């Protein structure tokens, strides 16, 4: 992973009198003043380290890869409060994903970036992308939300509420919240395919249990309780119609091309809800397409099924 010296910081002002915020980011590839710019929004447990050593999307972003850093300038912001550089939002409950989108816009302004070839993001990264699009779609040529939607459903709100309760009441909060989260991000079929009820004889546990423990311990090293509470709250807050303008009306005259990508087995942002969004935009004459990853692995498939991701993304970034 890149050192903290490779992470740059900007001072931005949160909307709605929420105060000053430090916004950190990383740049990859070409000069954004002379090359087309791609903004990559990270998922809940990710960060701005999208490529290179330890990059969470290194299979897709980099030299001669699908998002080719020999051709594009790639920018990624850290969600404020996600713990990178020990960042915290002490008043995190006052923020929503629309505010984070506004902070990202301010970051682009300070970097002198006035046009984006594409915004791409999965899960909460795509949620922030939707909120950004409602406000600033005129500067975006392609929008690619993956395994995500423009709103938090009752199912999403229920699961983030449970996460919140675990984080506030468990004696091992981040670890235990992650155990539950992994049940949302994968599927029963994925677990059966991978573990087949096998046992770790040394630990005297089922292998699925040791795997969950591993993910719990890994996230404890990544997140403080405060940071996990922050991103969990932001995930449940997404609502691109919060200003009273319907999604259809918001994009009636947009020139952006929308490329929605769902996952057939996603239990978190179900394909049905993404297809409904596709139909809404298509009815309004928006240039929109829908593609679907076929996978056993549920919500996390966009971090697993790289061949399918390449197939969908290559025509956009060729």
Kindly report, residue by residue over 302-311, the tens digit of the pLDDT: 999 999 999 9
The token duo for 265 is 């087995």
Q: How confident is the model at residue 6 (pLDDT cuts 50, 70, 90)?
A: confident
* 251, pLDDT greater than 80: yes
* Whether pLDDT at 69 is above 90: yes
Q: Candidates 1.10.357.10, 1.10.1740.110, 1.10.10.10, 3.40.50.2000; correct CATH number of 154-234?
A: 1.10.1740.110
**Mind listing the pLDDT tens digit for each residue in 256-303?**
999 999 999 999 999 999 999 999 999 999 999 999 999 999 999 999
Confidence of residue 99 (pLDDT cuts 50, 70, 90): very high
Put simply, whether the predicted model's pTM sits higher than 0.75 gets the answer: yes
What are the tens digits of pLDDT across the range 113-139? Answer: 999 999 999 999 999 999 999 999 999
Per-residue pLDDT tens digits for 30-55: 999 999 999 999 999 999 999 998 89
Torsions phi, psi for 240 (to 5 deg): -75, -5
List the structure tokens of 101. 């989108």
Q: Do 293 and 301 form a contact (C-beta atoms < 8 A)?
A: yes
* Closest C-alpha to 107, from 192, 37, 168: 37
pLDDT at 56 over 60: yes
Chain segment 159-197, per-residue pLDDT in tens: 999 999 999 999 999 999 999 999 999 999 999 999 999
CB contact at 8 A, 236 and 157: yes
Q: What is the pLDDT of residues 72-88, one digit of tens each?
A: 999 999 999 999 999 99
Q: What is the CATH number of domain 4-152+240-317?
A: 3.40.50.1820
pLDDT (average), residues 133-155: 98
Residue 1 confidence (pLDDT) above 70 = no
What distances in angstroms separate CA 275 from CA 117, 148, 184, 224, 267, one per listed residue?
24, 11, 20, 35, 14
247 φ, ψ (degrees, to nearest 5): -60, -45
* Domain ranges, ordered by start, for the chain: 4-152+240-317, 154-234
pLDDT at 215 over 50: yes
Share of the chain above pLDDT 90, in %: 97
CA distance 237 to 127: 9
Quote the Cα angle for 272-305-131, to 5°: 50
């Amino acid at each position: 992973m890149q050192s903290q010296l490779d992470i740059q910081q900007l001072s931005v002002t949160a909307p709605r009198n929420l105060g000053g915020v430090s916004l950190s980011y990383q740049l990859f590839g070409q000069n954004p003043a002379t090359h087309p710019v791609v903004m990559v929004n990270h998922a809940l447990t990710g960060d701005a380290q999208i490529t290179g050593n330890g990059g969470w999307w290194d299979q897709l972003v980099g030299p001669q890869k699908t998002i080719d850093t020999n051709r594009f300038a790639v920018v990624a912001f850290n969600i404020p409060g996600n713990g990178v550089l020990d960042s915290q939002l002490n008043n995190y409950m006052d923020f929503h994903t629309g505010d984070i989108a506004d902070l990202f816009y301010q970051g682009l302004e300070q970097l002198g970036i006035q046009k984006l070839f594409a915004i791409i993001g999965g899960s909460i990264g795509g949620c922030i992308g939707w909120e950004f699009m409602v406000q600033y779609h005129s500067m975006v040529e392609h929008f690619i939300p993956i395994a995500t939607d423009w709103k938090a459903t009752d199912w999403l709100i229920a699961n983030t509420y449970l996460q919140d309760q675990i984080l506030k009441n468990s004696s091992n909060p981040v670890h235990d919240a992650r155990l539950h989260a992994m049940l949302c991000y994968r599927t029963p079929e994925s677990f059966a395919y991978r573990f087949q009820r096998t046992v770790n004889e040394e630990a005297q546990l089922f292998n699925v249990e040791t795997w969950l423990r591993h993910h719990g311990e890994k996230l404890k090293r990544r997140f403080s309780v405060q940071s996990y509470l922050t991103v969990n709250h932001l995930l449940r807050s997404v609502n691109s119609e919060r200003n009273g303008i319907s999604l259809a009306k918001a994009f009636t005259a947009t020139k952006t091309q929308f490329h929605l990508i769902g996952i057939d087995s996603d239990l978190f942002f179900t394909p049905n809800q993404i297809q409904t969004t596709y139909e809404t935009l298509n009815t309004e004459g928006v240039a929109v397409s829908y593609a679907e990853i076929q996978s056993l692995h549920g919500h996390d498939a966009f971090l697993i099924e790289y061949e399918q991701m390449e197939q969908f993304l290559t025509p956009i970034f060729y």
